[in-house]
């Protein structure tokens, strides 16, 4: 008797569907769409004519996505435990590594797709906004800047994914995400100001600082890329490896 292994492409398609088929996923998707349009419109209404550019519209469109999509990545992992679907999932696919791998691929695909959508909305907004403002249409995003924006979004998604794997609780992981995004950077900055020995170390451990550099397209030196590698190792690679090891023996219901 032979058994057929479920192909990874089917697992990825299932995980993509699960990301947005729940009520929480659906309303997060709706909120992204609404906030993206509001952000693009705000550039037309609030920005001076000199800032009515493709870069401004794309950054504005991508900002709501960068905040909300990591939460979707968190829920993609934690739903197996918080919604008690893990028993069904891991019975159908006993290899937890394949399931988590499919979730990781789905997360990265959503990240790339969201950036493509931000570029598209930014392009439409740029054409309409420049026409309304009566200024020339400015296309000022280089290939290098575009790639850095893609990487910025993927790292943000992976931060959420890592928190989901490590904590396996929706509430705890979401709280952890907001603490890491909004509280920890301030703590590290304050520590650098009051402890001179930490000032030079901060850029190597503060993932938010390297994310800002990516968002601004300012990664133009080997040292800055080394800092990105350091923060990625500290906040994604090491925690994810630990989380995957503990996940293999965790209880599901």
Q: Does the pLDDT at position 236 exceed 90?
A: yes
Radius of gyration of the chain measured on its C-alpha atoms: 20
Tell me how far CA of residue 141 lies from CA of 34, 87, 110, 122, 145, in angstroms: 24, 46, 22, 11, 6
Q: Does the pLDDT at position 4 exceed 80?
A: no
Q: Does the pLDDT at position 3 exceed 60?
A: no
Average pLDDT value for residue range 91-105: 80
Q: Does the pLDDT at position 89 exceed 80?
A: no
Report the percent of the chain where pLDDT is more than 70. Answer: 91
**What is the pLDDT, as a whole number, of residue 8?**
84
d(CA 157, CA 27): 18
Q: Does the pLDDT at position 61 exceed 90?
A: no
**Residues 57, 121 contacting (CB under 8 angstroms):** yes
- For residues 238 and 34, the model is more confident at 238
Digit-coded pLDDT (tens) for 188-200: 999 999 988 898 8
d(CA 33, CA 236): 28
**What is the pLDDT, as a whole number, of residue 2?**
44
- For residues 6 and 165, the model is more confident at 165
**What is the pLDDT, as a whole number, of residue 174?**
93
**What is the pLDDT, as a whole number, of residue 187?**
92
Digit-coded pLDDT (tens) for 147-190: 998 999 999 999 999 999 999 888 999 999 999 988 998 999 99
Mean of all residue pLDDT scores within the chain: 86
| pTM recorded for the entire structure | 0.88
Digit-coded pLDDT (tens) for 115-155: 898 899 999 999 998 888 888 888 988 888 889 989 999 99
**What is the pLDDT, as a whole number, of residue 85?**
61
Q: Does the pLDDT at position 56 exceed 80?
A: yes
**What is the pLDDT, as a whole number, of residue 159?**
94
Average pLDDT value for residue range 88-110: 80
């Amino acid at each position: 008797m032979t058994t057929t292994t479920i192909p990874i492409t089917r697992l990825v398609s299932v995980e993509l569907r699960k990301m947005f088929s729940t009520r929480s996923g659906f309303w997060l998707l709706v909120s992204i769409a609404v906030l993206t349009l509001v952000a693009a419109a705000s550039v037309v209404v609030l920005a001076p004519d000199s800032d009515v550019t493709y870069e401004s519209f794309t950054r504005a469109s991508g900002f709501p996505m960068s905040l909300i999509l990591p939460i979707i990545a968190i829920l993609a992992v934690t739903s197996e435990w918080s919604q008690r679907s893990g028993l069904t999932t891991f019975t159908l696919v006993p290899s937890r590594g394949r399931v988590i791998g499919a979730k990781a691929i789905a997360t990265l695909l959503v990240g790339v797709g969201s950036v493509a959508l931000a570029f598209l909305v930014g392009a439409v907004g740029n054409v309409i906004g420049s026409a309304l403002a009566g200024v020339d249409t400015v296309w000022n995003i280089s290939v290098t800047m575009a790639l850095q924006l893609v990487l910025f979004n993927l790292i943000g998604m992976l931060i959420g994914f890592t928190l989901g794997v490590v904590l396996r609780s929706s509430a705890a992981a979401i709280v952890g995400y907001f603490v890491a995004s909004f509280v920890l950077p301030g703590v590290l900055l304050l520590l650098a100001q009051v402890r001179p020995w930490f000032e030079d170390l901060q850029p190597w451990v503060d993932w938010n600082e390297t994310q800002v550099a990516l968002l601004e397209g300012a990664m133009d030196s080997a040292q800055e890329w080394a800092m990105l590698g350091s923060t990625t190792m500290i906040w994604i690679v090491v925690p994810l490896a630990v989380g995957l090891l503990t996940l293999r023996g965790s209880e599901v219901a």
